Amino acid sequence: MDKTLRDELFQKAKQWVYEAGELIKERMNEPLSIDTKSNANDLVTILDKETEKFFIKKIKANYPEHLVLSEEGFGDKLKSLDGIIWIIDPIDGTMNFVHQKRNFAISLGIYCEGIGEIGIIYDVMGNCLYHAKKGEGAYKNEKQLAPLKEKLVLKESIIGMNHYWLCENRLIDHQDMQQFIRTIRGVRTYGSAALEFAYVAEGILDAYLTMKLSPWDIAAGIVIVQEVGGVTTDIFGQPVNMLTDNPVMVANSVISEQIATVMRKGKK
Ligand code: IPD
Ligand code: CA
Ligand code: CA
Ligand code: CA
């Protein structure tokens, strides 16, 4: 994608993200019409759906040839990553949104022929915008984020992960995970994959490890993290597929390799 188009799309996307954030804030104290999806804890509200529709309307009016991959099903059905694709999670951290009315984000990535060009993650209540354009660095609001510290050692690292890793699971021997957790400094669980990617980019988490994420959870984060030298792979160190769910790891390249080694050892 040439720089002129990238700059134009970034400006539009940023403006729409801020507008969507305002819409969410204006309506978040109305009844949220909470439904469940795959299970009783997989929540969706009217504002997840309305926010997604807001973006799709803007994108299709301005760029009818662009495609949209988004969580709530109002986007396009994609079979490939050809063309320009907006990958959107209208509210990432819906459980936080419902229970806490904070700690949720809008996540928007723009990909061209499978390559991440733009990433925007907006912490709506924190009024904090993480953003990046490919090759131009990553930012938190106006401030450029520093490259990740490659010298950091695993035993001094804080890793974003949730309790499922300590329960029996389909991917990794959970006793190996319990052992692994004893070797690191600590874990944090924030409940928004997009924010956890942003925190890795910011250097306040050293890695983030998760069993199953969809393309809209990670599209923006991949671009932002890459701009500070972070790498996103599956938990075994293999590339992620942007058309399916993946178990995901994001970290600096050294930590990433070390964690992948542990994961390969504990792999079921
Ligand atoms: C979820 C959040 C959560 C992660 C889940 C995601 P949603 O996204 O990012 O932190 O653990 O796997 O599905 O449904 O709130 O957009
Ligand atoms: Ca969801
Ligand atoms: Ca999500
Ligand atoms: Ca969502």
User: Reduced to 3 states, what is the DSSP secondary structure of residue 167?
Assistant: coil
Distance, in Å, from the CA atom of 232 to the CA atom of 125, rounded to the nearest integer, reads 26
When pLDDT is cut at 50, 70 and 90, the band that residue 149 belongs to is confident
Residues of the chain with CATH 3.40.190.80: 154-266
- What residue type is 106 in one-letter code? I
The number of the ligand 1 atom at minimal distance from the alpha carbon of 193 is: 9
What share of the chain has pLDDT > 90, as a percent?
95
Q: Is the CB of 52 under 6 A from ligand 1?
A: no
DSSP label at 1? Answer: -
Is CATH 3.30.540.10 the right assignment for the domain spanning 3-144? yes
pLDDT one-digit tens code per residue, 15-37: 999 999 999 999 999 999 999 99
- Mean per-residue pLDDT for 218-226? 98
Ligand 4 ion: residues within 5 Å (CB):
71, 89, 91-92
Query: Is residue 151 over pLDDT 80?
Result: no
Ligand 3 ion: residues within 5 Å (CB):
89, 92, 217
Check residue 88 and give its pLDDT. Answer: 98
The pTM of the full predicted model, rounded to 2 decimals, is: 0.97
Residues of the chain with CATH 3.30.540.10: 3-144
Cα 137 versus chain centre, distance: 17
Please give the distance, rounded to the nearest whole angstrom, from the Cα atom of residue 94 to the centre of ligand 1. 7
Backbone angles phi, psi at 224, to 5 degrees: -65, -45
Q: Is the CB of 103 under 6 A from ligand 1?
A: no
Atom 13 of ligand 1: nearest residue by CA position: 213
Residues ≥6 apart with Cβ < 8 Å to 245: 212, 213, 214
Check residue 47 and give its pLDDT. Answer: 97
For residues 68 and 75, the answer to whether their CB atoms sit within 8 Å is yes
Residues ≥6 apart with Cβ < 8 Å to 151: 254
Please give the distance, rounded to the nearest whole angstrom, from the Cα atom of residue 151 to the centre of ligand 3. 31
Q: From residue 229, how far is each of 16, 20, 190, 195, 254 by CA, in Å? A: 27, 29, 22, 17, 11
Please give the distance, rounded to the nearest whole angstrom, from the Cα atom of residue 255 to the centre of ligand 2. 29
CATH architecture of 154-266: 3-Layer(aba) Sandwich (3.40)
Please give the distance, rounded to the nearest whole angstrom, from the Cα atom of residue 88 to the centre of ligand 4. 9
Residue with the two structure tokens 């874990």: 187
Please give the distance, rounded to the nearest whole angstrom, from the Cα atom of residue 235 to the centre of ligand 4. 22
Residue 140, Cβ neighbours under 10 Å: how many?
Answer: 17
Return the ligand number nearest the Cα of 215: 3
- If you average pLDDT over every residue of the chain, what do you get? 96
Backbone angles phi, psi at 247, to 5 degrees: -80, 130
- Mean per-residue pLDDT for 78-91? 97
Q: What is the ipTM of this complex?
A: 0.98
Residue with the two structure tokens 């671009």: 223
Return the ligand number nearest the Cα of 95: 1
What is the secondary structure of 62-107 as a DSSP string? H-TT-EEEETTS-S---SS--SEEEEEEEEE-HHHHHHHS-S-EEE
Q: Which tokens hold the place of 172?
A: 């990794």
For residues 133 and 111, the answer to whether their CB atoms sit within 8 Å is no
Residues 2, 141, 22, 108: is their CA dihedral positive or negative?
positive
The number of the ligand 1 atom at minimal distance from the alpha carbon of 210 is: 11
Instruction: Tell me which residue of 12, 139, 1 sits closest to 83, measured CA to CA.
Output: 1
